[in-house]
Chains A and B, each alone.
Chain A
Amino acid sequence: MITEETVDHLGWLARIKLTEEQKEKFTDQLNSILGYFEKLDEVEADVPPTHHVLGLTNVFRDDVAGQSISQEEALGNAPKKERGYFKGPRIV
């Protein structure tokens, strides 16, 4: 059962500011989604879990260093930069 507190917390984890209206709306929506997925509880317990939908395993590349992009390109979309670094908020 998802409460408004849960949604509030999820909003904080995702760094999204939610209005009271949105909180109410998302609480309802998330609960209905969870209810929909409860269908899965009816599956027999001996079915192996699906970890991946492709059925592929072991896709690797060789350990070879390739081209990187330039510092200029890397910082191209950065709203703030300084001396070749990205500039971000202080986090303690």
Chain B
Amino acid sequence: MKEVIIGLEVHVQLNKLRSKLFCSCSTQYHDSEPDTHTCPVCLGLPGALPVTNGKAVDNAIKVALALNCNIEEWTMFYRKNYYYPDLVKGFQISQYDYPIATNGSISLDTEDGERAIRIKRVHMEEDPGRLVHVGTIDKSKYSLIDYNRSGVALLEVVTEPDLRTPKEARLFLNKLKNILEYLDVFDSSLEGSLRVDANVSIAGGKRAEIKNISSYKGVEKALLFEIVRQNNLVRRGVKVVQETRHFDEVRGITISLRTKEGEEDYRYFPEPDLVPITIRDRVDDIKKTLPELPDAKRQRFALQYGISDNHAKVLISELGLANFFETVATEVDANLSATWIADVLKGELNYRDLDISAFSPAHMVQILQMLKKDTITEKGAVQVIRTLLDEGGTPSEIVKRKGLLKIAADVSENAVFEVLAENPAAVQDYHDGKDEALNFLVGQVMKKTRGRADPRTVSKLLKEKLQNAPDNHREA
């Protein structure tokens, strides 16, 4: 396998803000008609003046701190000039020479251990509008434009070319998303909240830039396709050219965008309508408000609760899941909680495409308490979880309704006696050393108790009784 080199430019919307970056239009446009959340500023009407949203700057600093960046002394906005229908002013207010932060890193859990992925820079800019193509992109006669998104605060995070596989790229994005959600500056569930440009080259060749990737899985898909494409070229002895390619999410392929030479001629110059921002004096206050971040939480979970690092890793992967675990673990045994939340509940949620808010921590506590008291079996507990997710209700009511209460030992014992009496042949087989006879007998008991007996207890009871049961050979 030839060496693959990947770098990402990730654009995330600071969509927890109430208003846009340079005007007070609301950011809550996701369920609205097109062009209903605009004003002269975000429509780029002549004479309208931008005013910076102070909280957007604070949120950007928060992110920069969490990404271990060097926060610059001061920062300013530039105009990035280009023509495109989604860009109202003919330029995008962005940052160029004095970005808000540089030189950070994210520690990534890769397949060959932890590795630091360097962050080159973090900068602020405004989102353009949303283009809607009528029909497919290459067949539509015109485009429709919705400017509700125009002017929403974006943060661009640029990595160094430190990623080596498409999977690592996806892991990186998940980790970034995780950090942003901990910081409460980002909601990844909103449409259009994340867009990625990925640069990839193989074996020291020229790199291709893939634009327009808008999902976490899409990044991996686009890169896989692109690596195969470049490998095929190299194998045929064709040189890979440096170019910009467009990712077609539907077809899962990248297409060359034929661009005129020198199109990247953005003619940046300082934005005269906005004044510089001094950041340093804001940093100390913001540092104090930083929450515990995923890596720190992972370490604390392992130390404080004595759970395995693997469980800790799963639990911290979403803030909601981490909080859910802590709520439950203060009531019942932490290791039991970790196992049932990280392994069982998380699996059931994923299967149903639900997140942790679909399950009540109080219900989890009740289920685990029943398990601990041995009043339900593990199989029963799984059934209760599934029923709660599919039909709702409460654990105790479900246990009653579905008859999941583990039955008392004497009932099991009666069933064991009955089964032994009814199946002399199997008993004989057992004495003849046929192990499967025991399994058969356990099965019969489970049938009799409608699955409510605990198979391990039944097996133990059977063995005991069988020791004392008549062995026809010995009697003869």
Contact = CB atoms under 8 A, between A and B. Distances in A.
A66 B25 contact: yes
B146 to A, nearest CB: 6
B142 A88 contact: yes
Contact of A74 (B38, B52, B55): B38
Given A51-B276, A52-B270, A65 B34 contact: no
Contacts of A57: 74, 275-278
Contacts of A58: 275, 277-278
Interface in A43-92: 51-54, 56-71, 74-75, 80, 82-92
A13 B267 contact: yes
What's the dominant secondary structure at chain A's contact region? loop
Interface in B35-88: 35-40, 43, 51-57, 74, 76, 81-85
Nearest to A73: B38
Interface string B262-284: 10010100101011111000000
B144 A63 contact: no
A26 to B, nearest CB: 15
Contacts of A91: 84-85, 143
A71 B85 contact: no
B58 to A, nearest CB: 9
Contacts of B132: 85
Contacts of A59: 51-52, 274-275
A47 B415 CA distance: 96
Interface residues of B, number: 55
A39 interface: no
Contacts of B146: 85-86
B276 A60 contact: no
Interface size class of A (residues with CB under 8 A): 35 or more
A17 interface: no
A68 B177 CA distance: 30
A62 B146 CA distance: 25
A66 B51 CA distance: 13
A25 interface: no
Contact of A86 (B52, B145, B265): B145
A69 B277 CA distance: 29
B55 A63 contact: yes
Interface string B289-315: 000000000000000000000000000
Interface of B: 17-19, 24-28, 33-40, 43, 51-57, 74, 76, 81-85, 132-133, 137-138, 140-147, 257, 260, 262, 265, 267, 270, 272, 274-278
15 contacts: A13-B81, A51-B76, A52-B270, A60-B53, A63-B53, A66-B25, A66-B26, A74-B43, A75-B35, A82-B144, A87-B144, A88-B142, A90-B140, A90-B142, A92-B257
Interface of A: 9, 12-13, 15, 51-54, 56-71, 74-75, 80, 82-92
